[in-house]
Chain A
Amino acid sequence: MTRTVIDPVTRVGGHLRIEVEIANGVVRDAWSSGTMFRGMELILGGRDPRDAWLFAQRICGVCTGVHALASVRAVENALGVTIPTNARLVRNLLAGAGYVQAHVVGFYHRHAFDWVDPMAALRADPAATSTLALSMSEWPQSSPAYFKGVIDRLTTVVRSSQLGPFANGYWGHPAYRLTPEANLLVVAHYLEALDWQRGIIRIQTLLGGKSPHPQTYLVGGMALAPPWGGPTRGLPGEHPQQVERGSPPALSARGLTDIGAAIADARTFVEQVYLPDILMIAGHYREWAGVGEGLGDYLSYGEFPGDDSTKPALFLSRGRVMGRDLARVQPVDQAGIAESVAHSYYTYGDGGNALRHPANGQTNPFYTGPTQPLANLEGSNRYSWLKAPRYQDEPMEVGPLARMAVAYVEGQKDVRAAIDGAAASLGVGREAFFSTLGRTMARAIEAQVVARQLDGWLEDLVANLATGDLALADLTRWDPGAWPGEAHGWALGESPRGALGHWVAIRDQRIDTYQLVDATTWNGSPRDAQGRRGALEEALVGTPLADAARPLEVLRTVHSFDPCPACAVHSYVPGAGGPVQIRVI
């Protein structure tokens, strides 16, 4: 039995350490450890609840805006605010664009090198690569000359012996399966995707003022305002804002047109580049449909409200798929969520290991990590800054695969068509999705489903503005004088990486307590009191390894979750002798 440590796990958002025990070329056990902690929830204590989203947003700058959205929703829930239709649609557009970007970047820039060997691409024949590209899609950047240019660019980088991000990769590893041409094709798309994401960033910047960290959210709606008189009534020359090319107000006629064009570009890239690449790669790695199955229990809080009611229909529905059973979806109740700290760097005040609901979150520091230098976590009972969230005492997997599984069973027709289509083109059954390969495919499929829906939200927004409804914020609860003395709120939604919940308690117009449970807290969870592994740990067990010193296969499964331990933060009170309830007045 040998122990392999990967620290830092790169191509993730945040700081992650993975340790695996290997016997006879197979992973027998695994530990996932978050090694960075900021304490954002404690910092929120005592603040103006209307400011909370700005703080919470800084939990993650990669899937940017998701915590801002969860935070304003939690405060709105506490104060009883219903946001206007326009604000709901703008929020859907901002979040949805983020999903498309996160999934494309998550694959090309964080995951692709686990499947693709750019050094092998140097041997590719440009003409054959062009033939391959044309056989896969209509994407126009597919000529032999184009691929020759990519090889030349790559060759220049390699000859300079400054390989940048490519330096010291596991190149030539026997687990790489693609032909030189397929490698070249994906490397070309890696470079294109770097440029492509500017279109998404433009959508976010128009609607949010900047990206990362869009800055137009408000408790009650959005700070955006349509031009005076509405988007259809242009007032050229009225104000410099109105006439700048390239920088139109987001909700002006030109701004909305620009957003529509950027959405079309985004969708085209997903449909003609990202999804075909995933299917092509999957064809070379079919055996990975049998690796990394993991827990088999999937949780989705659901996302993208489709109406303005207090219990809106969700574009991607809420529910659980248990035991890989695609026959039915089970309900989700926020009261069923609770966290264990048995193997985390915290203790509960009573010294016990009972699970606690986030609204009663109790977090005391108990760092028992080894002193430096740290060789490995062997013998460390506590080993992560992440808590271990459980639903009705069970560990769960969250993320695109969970969302697609729930939506599939619920009969969401876009999702059904995409999943069935992908399974058919690969010649595999639906059960193949419960795997490392399936997680990777589900992410691409979700990118397509959401990218197509962006247009629908934009059309709804344009239509609603055209009716003369220009409201973007409900201000009835803006003044703290209108608030009750005490209020509790929560929001369950989704981020690109999975289920995200925020819980807030407001007292005397200030934040009393604030807790959140993020997607990577679920997926990257350490063990609980019963010793059950988290989703990522469980998925790693059984992974075959060709070379324990170069654990490429482990990275494949780790990155199939697109982990973001930066999000998985929890608060802590230093030097506390006894039990400390997180309560800052």
Chain B
Amino acid sequence: MTRADDSLYAAMLQRGMSRRTFIKFCTAMTAALALPATYVPRMAAAVSAAPRIPVIWLRGQGCGGDSAAFLGASNPTAAELLFDLLSVEYHEMIMAPAGAAAERSMTDVQARYPNEYIAVVEGAIPTADGGIHCMVDGRPFRDVVRDVSGGALATIAVGSCASDGGSPAAAGGATGAVGVSSIVSSGPLLALPGCPVNARNLTATIVHYLTFKQWPATDSRHRPYFAYGGLIHNQCERRAHFEFGEFVLAWGDEAAQKGWCLYKMGCKGPETNANCPTARYADGTSWPVKAGHGCVGCAMPGFWDAMSPFYRRLPPPLPFAPTVSADQVGQALVGGVAGLTVVHGAASYVRQRRVGAQERREARAAAADGALPRQDLPGGDPDSVQPPVPADPTEPAELGEPDEPSTSDRVDVVAIDGPDPVIPINPADSPDPEAG
């Protein structure tokens, strides 16, 4: 342990966090952002030195699911998010004060931390009939969002409703529901669609800011590339079965029991940009396709209408999708390593894929190298070219060099055919000897 680690350790103790928890958290965040492990010390230093960022969490036409996802976060836990990393001063579902006292919590933050707090918006914003369909303290929610967002460091739309109107905006809806981007034009805006948001993506977005003092690169819909840059289909653990024509044809059939591809049951993975297969939910426990039900495309704009009926089969995807690349396999692998959960699965998956489909893979890699732009992703806007998160996790040049680069700390994403990857941080911290 270096001297720097010692002071860090003291800082973490002060915050009531164990070293193990903290490093595990930073490792997971590094992986979520597709950064190499060399960034862990830099991230740890930045996060431990940062003052707790004030947060105003607003709730409009929503179900509370994004709050529930946030409060059920695993790594870091909700308690750490609430009291160590962030300072959630206004969140109607958990805050102690009510009524006028609650409003004071909001105005206090706006007065004390102008342009220093994060505005999180959950739920859609109704605009019809003067906004009467969602009122907070007698004010239309729309006005509250504009007010809070106007003085914020950044606005983060969590979940699909806040991103583009979500279910209240589906066909038949009558409240003029829109997402945050339709009414907020100032300041950085990030959108983390998904129903609900994956808490891990929210945390990673904030940690990215703490570490680099800039928000992660986003597409034209304000979605960070690290989470929404790839198709579910291309990261799916059942993808091999798609390649080999092994499909579930009826619920509960032999193929379902063997975990084959759900494409023919209506899975929307081939048209959905999200990192569910690698990020998963509940600390890597599962995600819908793993559990046996197809993806419904809940992170995609307008999915309630665009993706339904949900059991209708999509048109065949391209023989090989333009965005698939070895890099993405590598990113998936790094995510698995740090999640300490899917190492063996990811590694053996990659091995199977390489052995079984070597030729196709080479053809695909060649196509990917042919500079097909990422903006071709569904929902992306070709006119808005922003630098994506570096596609090659070993060359994060745009994000600056780590303080003390050390090649020995790197996860060798190339050596996927070699021994199982080793977690470089501190093997003693690994809760699972088989995973390390």
- Give me the interface of A with B, judged by CB distance under 8 Å: 5-15, 17, 35-40, 42-48, 50-51, 54-55, 58-62, 64, 105, 109-110, 113, 149, 152-153, 156-157, 160, 162-170, 191, 194-195, 197-198, 201-202, 204-213, 215-218, 220-229, 237-247, 249-250, 367, 369, 372-375, 385, 470-473, 475, 478, 550-551, 555, 564, 566, 572-574, 584
Contact call B97/A170, Cβ cutoff below 8 A: yes
Q: A38 CA to B352 CA in the complex, in Å?
A: 47
Contact call B136/A8, Cβ cutoff below 8 A: yes
Given contacts A239-B259, A243-B348, A250 and B286 within 8 Å (CB-CB): yes
Q: A209 CA to B139 CA in the complex, in Å?
A: 38
The minimal Cβ–Cβ distance linking B39 to chain A, given in whole angstroms, is: 24
- For B258, the chain A residues whose CB sits under 8 A away are 227-228, 238-239
Q: A367 CA to B117 CA in the complex, in Å?
A: 35
- For A109, the chain B residues whose CB sits under 8 A away are 71, 93-94
- Complex: chain A residue closest to B256, CB-CB: A225
| B167 contacts partner chain A, Cβ-Cβ < 8 Å | yes
Q: Which of A36, A162, A246 contacts B61 (CB 8 A)?
A: A36
Given contacts A221-B251, A247-B280, A168 and B96 within 8 Å (CB-CB): yes
Contact call B257/A226, Cβ cutoff below 8 A: yes
Contact call B172/A46, Cβ cutoff below 8 A: yes
The minimal Cβ–Cβ distance linking B398 to chain A, given in whole angstroms, is: 32
For chain B residues 231-279, which have a beta carbon within 8 Å of chain A?
237, 250-252, 254, 256-259
The minimal Cβ–Cβ distance linking B320 to chain A, given in whole angstroms, is: 21
Q: A247 CA to B96 CA in the complex, in Å?
A: 36
The minimal Cβ–Cβ distance linking B383 to chain A, given in whole angstroms, is: 32
- Residue-wise, chain B 336-360 has the 8 Å CB interface mask toward A (1 for contact) of 0000111011101100100000000
Closest 4 pairs (CB-CB, A-B): A61-B65, A374-B138, A209-B291, A169-B96
Contact call B341/A245, Cβ cutoff below 8 A: yes
Contact call B292/A62, Cβ cutoff below 8 A: no
- Complex: chain A residue closest to B253, CB-CB: A225
| B137 contacts partner chain A, Cβ-Cβ < 8 Å | yes
Q: A239 CA to B136 CA in the complex, in Å?
A: 51
Contact call A36/B195, Cβ cutoff below 8 A: no
- For B196, the chain A residues whose CB sits under 8 A away are 61, 212-213
- For B302, the chain A residues whose CB sits under 8 A away are none
Query: In the complex, which of the residues B14, B291, B308 has the most CB atoms of chain A within 10 Å of its own CB atom?
Result: B291
- For B292, the chain A residues whose CB sits under 8 A away are 209, 216, 222-225
For chain B residues 48-83, which have a beta carbon within 8 Å of chain A?
52, 54, 59-69, 71-72, 74, 77-79, 82-83
Contact call A375/B138, Cβ cutoff below 8 A: yes
Residue contacts A-B, CB under 8 angstroms, 30 given: A11-B93, A39-B173, A39-B175, A42-B173, A55-B167, A61-B62, A61-B64, A109-B93, A152-B16, A156-B14, A162-B87, A164-B82, A165-B91, A165-B94, A165-B95, A168-B96, A204-B282, A205-B281, A209-B287, A210-B286, A211-B68, A213-B196, A215-B291, A218-B251, A228-B258, A244-B341, A367-B129, A369-B135, A375-B138, A470-B257
- Complex: chain A residue closest to B352, CB-CB: A240
For chain B residues 277-329, which have a beta carbon within 8 Å of chain A?
280-293, 296, 304, 308-311
**Which one of B100-108, B185-193, B201-209 contacts A?**
B100-108
Query: In the complex, which of the residues B133, B280, B346, B348 has the most CB atoms of chain A within 10 Å of its own CB atom?
Result: B133
Q: A238 CA to B255 CA in the complex, in Å?
A: 13
Q: Which of B79, B96, B291, B349 contacts A207 (CB 8 A)?
A: B291
Contact call A209/B286, Cβ cutoff below 8 A: yes
The minimal Cβ–Cβ distance linking A97 to chain B, given in whole angstroms, is: 12
Contact call B257/A7, Cβ cutoff below 8 A: no
The minimal Cβ–Cβ distance linking B348 to chain A, given in whole angstroms, is: 5
The minimal Cβ–Cβ distance linking B309 to chain A, given in whole angstroms, is: 4
Contact call A206/B136, Cβ cutoff below 8 A: no
Contact call A374/B79, Cβ cutoff below 8 A: no
For chain B residues 207-225, which have a beta carbon within 8 Å of chain A?
none
| B396 contacts partner chain A, Cβ-Cβ < 8 Å | no
Q: Which of A37, A211, A216, A246 contacts B432 (CB 8 A)?
A: A246
Q: Which of B14, B74, B92 contacts A198 (CB 8 A)?
A: B74
Query: In the complex, which of the residues B83, B129, B258 has the most CB atoms of chain A within 10 Å of its own CB atom?
Result: B83
Contact call B99/A8, Cβ cutoff below 8 A: yes
Contact call A210/B287, Cβ cutoff below 8 A: yes
Give the dominant DSSP class at A's interface: loop
Q: A210 CA to B257 CA in the complex, in Å?
A: 19
- For B141, the chain A residues whose CB sits under 8 A away are 36
Number of B positions contacting A (CB below 8 A): 110
| B35 contacts partner chain A, Cβ-Cβ < 8 Å | no
- For A555, the chain B residues whose CB sits under 8 A away are 98
The minimal Cβ–Cβ distance linking B317 to chain A, given in whole angstroms, is: 21
Contact call A15/B134, Cβ cutoff below 8 A: yes
Contact call B135/A58, Cβ cutoff below 8 A: no
Contact call B101/A471, Cβ cutoff below 8 A: no
- Complex: chain A residue closest to B140, CB-CB: A372
- For A206, the chain B residues whose CB sits under 8 A away are 285-286, 291
Contact call A194/B71, Cβ cutoff below 8 A: yes
The minimal Cβ–Cβ distance linking A120 to chain B, given in whole angstroms, is: 13
Contact call A194/B252, Cβ cutoff below 8 A: no
Q: A38 CA to B167 CA in the complex, in Å?
A: 8
| B10 contacts partner chain A, Cβ-Cβ < 8 Å | no
Q: A40 CA to B196 CA in the complex, in Å?
A: 17
- For A170, the chain B residues whose CB sits under 8 A away are 96-97, 101
The minimal Cβ–Cβ distance linking A559 to chain B, given in whole angstroms, is: 10
The minimal Cβ–Cβ distance linking A7 to chain B, given in whole angstroms, is: 5
- For A43, the chain B residues whose CB sits under 8 A away are 167-168, 170-173, 304
Contact call A168/B168, Cβ cutoff below 8 A: no
The minimal Cβ–Cβ distance linking B90 to chain A, given in whole angstroms, is: 8
The minimal Cβ–Cβ distance linking B351 to chain A, given in whole angstroms, is: 10
Contact call A205/B285, Cβ cutoff below 8 A: yes
- Complex: chain A residue closest to B113, CB-CB: A162
Contact call A156/B133, Cβ cutoff below 8 A: no
Contact call A51/B308, Cβ cutoff below 8 A: yes
- For B341, the chain A residues whose CB sits under 8 A away are 244-247
| B146 contacts partner chain A, Cβ-Cβ < 8 Å | no
The minimal Cβ–Cβ distance linking B255 to chain A, given in whole angstroms, is: 9
Query: In the complex, which of the residues A6, A198, A367 has the most CB atoms of chain B within 10 Å of its own CB atom?
Result: A198
Q: Which of B54, B72, B237 contacts A241 (CB 8 A)?
A: B237
- Complex: chain B residue closest to A376, CB-CB: B138
The minimal Cβ–Cβ distance linking B27 to chain A, given in whole angstroms, is: 15
